[in-house]
Chain A
Amino acid sequence: IAGITQAPTSQILAAGRRMTLRCTQDMRHNAMYWYRQDLGLGLRLIHYSNTAGTTGKGEVPDGYSVSRANTDDFPLTLASAVPSQTSVYFCASATGNTGELFFGEGSRLTVL
C-alpha cells in the first residue's frame, strides 16, 4: 500500500542524546513536512521541503534539523534532545493545489 512510513513508532531517550526520526514516502510527492502534535496545541509545523534539495523552517523549528537528499526521504534530527521535545511527530507529504496532506502513522518520542 502506497503511503508514508515513519520509524521508529516510539522511542524513549535521555536528554542530550541525538535522535533521528525517519520518514519515507513512495508517492513521489514533491512537498514533505514534519509536524508535532501536542495536547491543546494541535499540529505545529517544524520544517518542510517543497522539493528535493530544499528545506525551510516552519512555526517551531528550534532544536530540529532536516535534510532532503532525494524525493522519498525526509529525516528529522534532534541534535541534543530536551524534555520539551516530548511529543508525537508526524511526517506528511503533499501534491496538488488544494493543500491536502497525507500523513504517516506518527512517532511518539519521550525525552527524559
Chain B
Amino acid sequence: DQQVKQNSPSLSVQEGRISILNCDYTNSMFDYFLWYKKYPAEGPTFLISISSIKDKNEDGRFTVFLNKSAKHLSLHIVPSQPGDSAVYFCAARRSNTGKLIFGQGTTLQVKP
C-alpha cells in the first residue's frame, strides 16, 4: 500500500507564476515531512521540511503547508523559475523507525 501519494505525475506552469505540488499520506505515525528535488542523472537533494507539529514552513521562494486533519501537504514555489524544472518527491518520516517513505514524484516543468 502506498502510504505517501503524489497523485499528479506532472505539472506545467509559466515562469513567474506559482507552482503547487501536492502530497497525501495515510499514516498518522509520521513526525516529519520533507520535499526533495531531483534533476536528471543526479541524486535527489533536500529542499525543505516541516515538523508534524507545525502547519507552515517557509524558505525563500519555497513554502510547505501541512494540513494534518486532511493528511495533506503541499509545496508552493513562488515565483517559479525555469531552473525549478525537476522531479519533486515528498517524503514522510516514520516516528517509530526514523525511515523515510517517498511518494511517486511529480515532474514540474516551468516554461519561460
Nearest CB of B to A102, in Å = 7
Enumerate chain B residues within 8 angstroms of A61, measured Cβ to Cβ. none
Main secondary structure of the interface of B (DSSP, over half): strand
Is B105 in contact with A42, judged by CB distance below 8 angstroms?
A: yes
Is B100 in contact with A99, judged by CB distance below 8 angstroms?
A: yes
Task: Determine whether A45 belongs to the interface, using a CB cutoff of 8 Å to chain B.
Answer: yes
Q: How many residues of B contact A (CB 8 A)?
A: 25
Nearest CB of A to B2, in Å = 8
Enumerate chain B residues within 8 angstroms of A105, measured Cβ to Cβ. 41-43
Task: Determine whether B93 belongs to the interface, using a CB cutoff of 8 Å to chain A.
Answer: yes
Main secondary structure of the interface of A (DSSP, over half): strand
Interface bin, chain A: 20 to 34
Task: Determine whether A74 belongs to the interface, using a CB cutoff of 8 Å to chain B.
Answer: no
Task: Determine whether A58 belongs to the interface, using a CB cutoff of 8 Å to chain B.
Answer: yes
Is B43 in contact with A45, judged by CB distance below 8 angstroms?
A: no
Enumerate chain B residues within 8 angstroms of A34, measured Cβ to Cβ. none
Nearest B residue to A99, CB-CB: B93
Is A48 in contact with B99, judged by CB distance below 8 angstroms?
A: yes
A40→B2 CA distance, assembly (Å): 11
Is A42 in contact with B103, judged by CB distance below 8 angstroms?
A: yes
Is A103 in contact with B100, judged by CB distance below 8 angstroms?
A: no
Proximity string of chain B (92-112) to chain A, C-beta cutoff 8 Å, 1 when within and 0 when not: 010000111111110000000
- Residue ranges of A at the interface with B (Cβ–Cβ < 8 Å): 4, 31, 33, 35, 40-45, 48, 50, 58-59, 90, 92, 98-106
